[in-house]
Amino acid sequence: MNARDTILQRIRENQPAGAYPLPDLPSFPFDDGGDLVACFLRNLVAMGGHYYDGTINAAMAELFPDAAVIASTVPDFSGNRAITSGTEAGQLADVDVGITRASVGVAETGSVLLVDENLISNAVAYLAQHLIVLLDRASIVTTLQDAYRRPEFHQYRYASFHTGPSATADIEGVLIHGAQGVRSLTVLLT
């Protein structure tokens, strides 16, 4: 038994008796201005993300013409770095551009929900220098609470909201993108 299994077994053995249902998820009002897509794009940009109106091929040619290592998890575009469920994180450390699909977009925050089934290897969303995310316009919901209610948020082993690129700022207010993760996040609406 490995350390993870040992820890989980001990948790199972020591759970308190009784049923403890999750609380009801409240709904909070949010004015999307009547256009979910426009609201999503506005908030995506406000959080440092970008959107591209065009195909993956056009985005790659225009935004990342010098990309040498491309890891794609979508059938629409073949990268030159294969990603399988057995891909180790270290094998993705030199990826210039990662391409994947989001399950859900959130207008309130400009976030995209990335799940393990679409990422194949979760590390691609963090180790790639730049991330291109395909998002179906019909999958944009109004608020985070709406996203939590979607089945995608509960049926996968891994789900993570990404809101723009990685960013950090020091006390003087100098903002740096890509300090701990992707330097840019670009959404292509499908």
Per-domain residue ranges of the chain: 31-189
Q: Compute the distance between CA of residue 121 and CA of residue 179 in angstroms, rounded to an integer.
A: 21
8-state DSSP, 83: -
pLDDT of residue 7: 93
pLDDT of residue 165: 77
pLDDT of residue 178: 62
Which helix (H) or strand (E) segment holds residue 21: the answer is none
pLDDT of residue 91: 85
pLDDT of residue 179: 65
Of 155, 80, 88, whose CA–CA distance to 116 is shortest?
Answer: 155
Q: Splitting the chain (190 residues) into consecutive groups of 10 residues, what average pLDDT does each group show? A: 90 87 81 87 91 92 93 88 84 90 94 90 87 94 90 83 78 70 88
Determine whether domain 31-189 maps to CATH 3.40.50.300: no
Give the ranges where the chain is alpha helix by DSSP (H): 3-13, 36-46, 56-63, 116-119, 124-127, 144-149, 152-155
Buried/exposed 43-56: b ≥16 CB within 10 Å, e otherwise: bbeebbbbbbeeeb
pLDDT of residue 17: 85
